Amino acid sequence: MSSRTASSRRSPAKRRKSSRSSGGQGMTTWLVVLAVVAGGIALYDNRAAVLKEMAPLLSKERPASADAPSKSSDNREKEPQARPQATAAKTPVPPADVGVTKAAVPASRPAVASPETAALTGENFSGKFYFCGTSGLDNCVMSGDTFWYRKTKIVLADIAAPRTDGAACQQERDRGFAAKVRLKDLLSSGRFDLETLKAQSAGAIPGVMRVATRDGRSLGSILVSEGLAKPRMARQQSWCP
């Protein structure tokens, strides 16, 4: 009986001790959890200051591969400068012509002879003549001693006819018009020759000075014989009374 009672008395003591130890371990676990939670909250609230403090450490531990983009960007910046040289080197150059001589291009167009210097001298000229103003300045009669032929103004060198424009009187104007009509008819009647008069220059008279003849006779002399012109070398008298 004494042994049973002793064992029965000892067993509650062991049970009490185990219950106390398990309770202590559970309390420690909860304290650790609460400390971790509290530390996480404090870290979150002070995250800006923590990141600022950790920035130098993170920059030192940055891998070497992070510098690669900067090098590639430098290479990209240098590429545009190298490309024009490569393009210029690859531009094909046309080969020079062998055995071909290019014609020289004149620096300026050749000067065209003016109507005053045109050589209208010779035989067998002909054409249908009109009055200037109706057919333009070609094959037309301007006055009793002036006409246009082949775009050239020709003045009869051996006669002077009365004026129609700027006449001093009506008699001169009428006779000048008659001389103009007669010269048109003479030029249109057939072939004629144009000759130069020796020892005579145009002077102040614009145009090419020529003597118009047919069968060896001057057409101007016909006008003189009909009283419609006067010899140019003679002293000029007024056509007015």
Mean pLDDT, residues 66-73 taken together: 47
Q: Is the pLDDT of residue 84 over 60?
A: no
pLDDT at 198: 72
What the block records as the tokens of 131 is 């009055």
Q: Which of these ranges, 59-73, 116-130, 148-162, has the smallest mean pLDDT?
A: 59-73
pLDDT at 230: 94
pLDDT at 128: 94
pLDDT at 220: 96
pLDDT in tens, 177-209: 999 999 999 999 999 999 998 755 555 567 799
Topology adopted by domain 116-231 = OB fold (Dihydrolipoamide Acetyltransferase, E2P) (2.40.50)
Question: Rounded to a whole number, what is the distance in angstroms from the first to the last CA of the chain?
Answer: 199
What the block records as the tokens of 97 is 């012509």
pLDDT in tens, 87-99: 444 555 555 544 4
Mean pLDDT, residues 10-17 taken together: 52
Q: Which of these ranges, 15-24, 52-61, 104-113, 182-191, has the smallest mean pLDDT?
A: 104-113
- 8 Å CB contact between 143 and 179: yes
- Bigger pLDDT: 223 vs 90: 223
Q: Average per-residue pLDDT in the chain?
A: 74
